[in-house]
Amino acid sequence: MNVNVKFFARFRELLGTDIVTEAREGMTIAAVVSAAAKKNREGYDAIFDQKGNFLEFVIVMQNGQRVETADAAAIPVADGDVIAIFPPVAGG
């Protein structure tokens, strides 16, 4: 099955965007994003901690719906899913 991983802002600079990843049955959001991010160590380290968990401030969305980073390791992906990864939002 194919899953589209989109990185935004600083993450896009490090990893690119619109990365179509081949996912196995039962793969989770965290596993798919980790596989896509491992191509660039700096990008991976900007998103994941040393244990492979999403950093607290990372924003994760599955098909336009916000997903808690703590839950991303338990939520499976499906064919055609779009996973969006954002850094923290700031503005003024």
Rounded percentage of the chain residues whose pLDDT exceeds 70: 97
Instruction: Give the pLDDT confidence score for residue 91 in this predicted structure.
Output: 58
Structure-token pair, residue 30: 């965290």
DSSP H/E element including 23? none
pTM (two decimals): 0.92
Half-sphere exposure of 71 (CA within 13 A, CB side): 11
Instruction: Give the pLDDT confidence score for residue 30 in this predicted structure.
Output: 97
Domains of the chain: 2-77 (3.10.20.30)
DSSP H/E element including 71? none
Cβ 52 vs Cβ 34: under 8 Å: yes
In degrees to the nearest 10, what's the CA dihedral of 70, 77, 36, 91?
-50
Which residue ranges of the chain lie beneath pLDDT 50?
Answer: none
Instruction: Give the pLDDT confidence score for residue 17 in this predicted structure.
Output: 84
